[in-house]
Amino acid sequence: MKVALAIVLGHLLLEPVAAEEPGKGGLYLPETAREAPHECVVRALPRGGSQEAAVGDRVPHESHAGQEVTFDGEKNLLVPVGDLLAKYVEADAIPT
């Protein structure tokens, strides 16, 4: 039986963006000492969509926002729409 994840109550399913590795001459931090990324890509919306974000948008969120869930073997976050801080858009798309 195939199972799907239905997003409800104004939440978004977010996939964390991997933290960048330190560059040449940078310090190496073990995985356990690294801060979790506060930037994600929207993977799913609640039924009816969201005015704030769309699937594929890259968004920063509150540092301790949401609930971590593992679905289809991948770790994701269920985050309330209100915990999003912004979304990245092309500079030409910002109204002046």
CATH class label, 11-18+33-90: mainly beta
Residue stretches of the chain with pLDDT short of 50: none
Beta bridge partner(s), residue 76: 69
Q: Is the pTM of this model over 0.85?
A: no
**Domain extents in the chain:** 11-18+33-90
Query: What pLDDT is stored for residue 22 in this prediction?
Result: 59
Strands annotated E in 1-96: 11-16, 39-44, 58-60, 67-71, 74-80
Q: How many whole angstroms separate alpha carbon 38 and alpha carbon 84?
A: 10
Q: Write down the pLDDT at residue 21.
A: 60
The share of the chain scoring above pLDDT 70, in percent, equals 77
Query: Which pLDDT tens digit goes with each residue over 9-34?
Result: 889 999 988 766 655 566 766 766 66
Residue 93 is predicted with a pLDDT of 62
